[in-house]
Amino acid sequence: MRNALGSVDTVLLLGGRSEIGLAVVERLVRAGASRVVLAARGGTAPAERLRELGAEVHVLDFDASRPETHPALIEEAAAKLGDLDVVIPAFGVLGSQAVYDDDPVAAARDVAVNFGGHVSAGLAAARRLREQGHGALVVLSSVAGVRVRKANFVYGSAKAGLDGFAQGLADSLHGTGVRVVLVRPGFVIGRMTRGMTPAPMSVTADAVADAVVEALGSGRGTVWVPARLRPVFAVMRILPRDVWRRMPR
């Protein structure tokens, strides 16, 4: 249970090796969370560091591309943790648009992870949280989905779908005691973007994690990281189409 000062006790990370996800979990553990499930492909995840911080850590096998396994995975995590205080689906793949252009099947496969996997895992988690009457679901959207660019429109459109899904889910959970925290990071320098030239206003996984933890505490429903991306995208969203089309990346 979340306590009066906002610390939580249990955390479930789906995509148990995600850089952003682990940075959030580490902060929650430092603030008092005592039980963690890391769910990752192949059932291996860096649990040691969290254990050193005093948490009890379980590692489960989880594949985002197999939606039929998601409800059981959520129940298994709840059996390990008790009530789920915070659920963070942090899995995702950032493929290259050029590759997708030549390999439509690969594109569909990644969309199934970036969007479909979040739908099945998100709904399974939401069902559990709704029954609990409390808990928070952290959804890692992206500015790439706020206005989709030609440079990565497969990834971007999946994120746009996810963003809409999270908004609808948040509204459907209103009044149930369950919260959705919708996070819209810009370019995050790290593992997922290795080898790419950072876009303007890029941030680190740590900065994203700080913002997520702040939002979990304050009750904010939507977070942009960095915060100034919000006014920037208010403008981006209304740029005329022929200007937007010329965005270099």
Partner 1 sequence: MTPLTGWGRTAPTPATVLRPRSADEAAALLKEAGRRGVVARGLGRAYGDAAQNAGGLVLDCAALAPSWSLDEETGLVTASAGMSLHDLMTALLPRGWFVPVTPGTRYVTVGGAVAADVHGKNHHADSSFGAHLRSLRLLTADGTLRTLGPGDDLFWATVGGMGLTGVVVEAAFRCVPVETSRMRVDVRRTRDLEETLEVMTAGDHDYRYTVAWIDLLARGGRMGRSVLTRGDHARLDELPPRARRDPLAFGPRPRLSAPPWVPDGLLNRATIGAFNALWYGRAPADRRGLIQGVAPFFHPLDGVGGWNRMYGSRGFVQYQFVVPFGAEDTLRRIVERLSRAGVVSFLTVLKRFGEGTPGMLSFPMPGWTLALDIPVGQDGLAAMLTEFDGWVAAAGGRLYLAKDSRMSAATMAATYPRLEEWRAIRRRADPDGLFVSDLARRLRL
Ligand X SMILES: NC(=O)c1ccc[n+]([C@@H]2O[C@H](COP(=O)([O-])OP(=O)(O)OC[C@H]3O[C@@H](n4cnc5c(N)ncnc54)[C@H](OP(=O)(O)O)[C@@H]3O)[C@@H](O)[C@H]2O)c1
Instruction: State in angstroms the smallest separation of the CB of 170 from ligand X.
Output: 17
- Please classify residue 176 by burial: count the beta carbons closer than 10 Å to its beta carbon, then call 0-12 exposed, 13-18 middle and 19+ buried: middle
Catalytic status, residue 100: no
Residue list 208-247, contact with ligand X (CB under 6 A): none
| Residue 152 is a binding residue for ligand X (CB under 6 A) | no
Which of ligand X, partner 1, none is residue 161 near (CB under 5 to 8 Å by kind)? none
| Residue 5 is a binding residue for partner 1 (CB under 8 A) | yes
Residue list 44-83, contact with partner 1 (CB under 8 A): 82-83
| Residue 15 is a binding residue for ligand X (CB under 6 A) | yes
| Residue 210 is a binding residue for partner 1 (CB under 8 A) | no
| Residue 90 is a binding residue for ligand X (CB under 6 A) | yes
Which residue's CB is nearer to ligand X, number 10 or number 141? Answer: 141
Options 91, 115, 155, 224, the catalytic residue: 155
| Residue 172 is a binding residue for partner 1 (CB under 8 A) | no
Residue list 78-137, contact with partner 1 (CB under 8 A): 82-83, 130-134
* Site of interaction with ligand X (CB under 6 A): 15, 17-21, 41, 62-65, 90-93, 113, 140, 142, 185, 187-188, 190-193, 205
Binding site for partner 1 (CB under 8 A): 1-7, 9, 31-32, 34, 82-83, 130-134, 175-177
Instruction: Give catalytic residues, as residue numbers.
Output: 155
